[in-house]
Structure 1
Amino acid sequence: MKEIIIHNQVSLKVIRGDITKCKADIIVNAANTSLLGGGGVDGAIHKAGGPAILAECVQIRNRQGGCPVGEAVYTTAGQLQADYVIHTVGPVWNRGQQEPELLGRCYRNTLALARSLNCTSIAFPNISTGIYRFPKPKAAEIAIGEVLSFIRTHMGIAEIQFVCFDEENYRIYADKLSDCH
């Protein structure tokens, strides 16, 4: 684990592991627009959290038709060690035209929603870097940049974890976080 304490005494951590095992007020799900589960982290969160997450996702889907790319919604965390799951839909990489802005919106909207829920800790996966093929170094740069921007202007969140399932993402995030200190 790599940890730094920065502006406003916020702890930023990079962890290599399984996000479904994290203890945080909020676990972030890299969802798809249907909100009905899928592969990767999305499937793992739905499986570990149990049927309550899917039930609330279905309610959201029925109410608003899913979740657009770059947006965020929340549900119960079910059986996870969290209060909520925030579902955000990252962009599929397609030559980098609009994808960086859309990925940035995922982080901004998720952090704003977390703040509105009065949460103090949040665990992020590596959004869009799996089957959506977003280049990992660019995704890490956007994630860390958005988080730093947010914590410089907002109080309340005390701990932010970047939970990396694979060693490559872990190294990228740890290196980029070291550059921030």
Structure 2
Amino acid sequence: MAEIKIVVADITTLNVDAIVNAANETLLGGGGVDGAIHAAAGRGLLAECRLLGGCRTGEAKITGGHLLPARYVIHTVGPVWHGGSQGEAQLLAAAYANSLKLAQEYGLRSIAFPNISTGVYGYPADKAAVIALQSLRATLAQCPAIDTVILCCFSEQAALLYRSLAAADS
């Protein structure tokens, strides 16, 4: 099964087969990770995203990496937090799982994820981290092509949360 690595880094600088973009439903750029990826990838990414017709929450779509070191960008839309009673956990798990399945479909070996939905979408970081790790582990069993998954955290505090949860599960 794939190795899960937890790092603090700028996801746009990672040399992996694909990085995951925590996108909005339009796929046309936004703030946070989404804005950073679009800025680093250049105008070609936006042009390609315009052809995709958006993306529903929990689903994933793929584009080229354009000016990024990553060959591909997998765009997924995580849920906005509404207190946990509107299917947010299932949608967040689906965002991780569908991104992995798309990477498998394209024969990709390495993929990096940001902390989906924990920024402006307001998902509590501790709850999101549990779902991310559970979804990744469950889905990786169906994705033999993938040998490296990177959880790319925006802060050391976020990385510590993931590391403590990963250690408790092993």
In structure 2, give the amino acid aligned to 1:151. Answer: L
2:109 paired residue among 120, 133, 136: 120
| TM-score between both structures, scaled by the size of structure 1 | 0.91
Deviation at 1:166, TM superposition (A): 1.7
Find the counterpart in structure 1 of residue 131 from structure 2.
142
1:171 to partner: Cα distance: 1.1
Amino acid at match of 1:46: H
Structure 1 partner of 2:81:
93
TM-score of the pair, normalised by structure 2: 0.96
Which of 14, 17, 20 is the aligned partner of 1:25?
17
Residues 101 and 143 of structure 2 are in contact (CA less than 8 Å); yes or no, is this contact kept in structure 1?
no
Q: Does the 8 A contact of 2:16 with 2:69 survive in 1? A: yes
**Offset at 1:100?**
0.4
Q: Distance between the aligned counterparts of 1:108 and 1:99, measured in 2? A: 14
Which SS does the other structure have where 1:60 is aligned? coil
Q: Which residue of 1 aligns with 2:69?
A: 81
Structure 2 equivalent of residue 110 of structure 1: 99
Task: Write the deviation string for residues 51-82 of structure 1: whole angstroms up to 9, x where unpaired.
Answer: 11111100112xxxx11111100111011111
Aligned residues: 169
Query: SS of the residue aligned with 1:82?
Result: coil
Q: How many Å apart are 1:156 and its aligned residue?
A: 1.1
Q: Give unpaired runs (5+ residues) of structure 1.
A: 1-7
Distance in 2 between residues matched to 1:162 and 1:154, nearest whole Å? 17
Please tell me whether residue 15 in structure 1 is matched to residue 7 in structure 2: yes
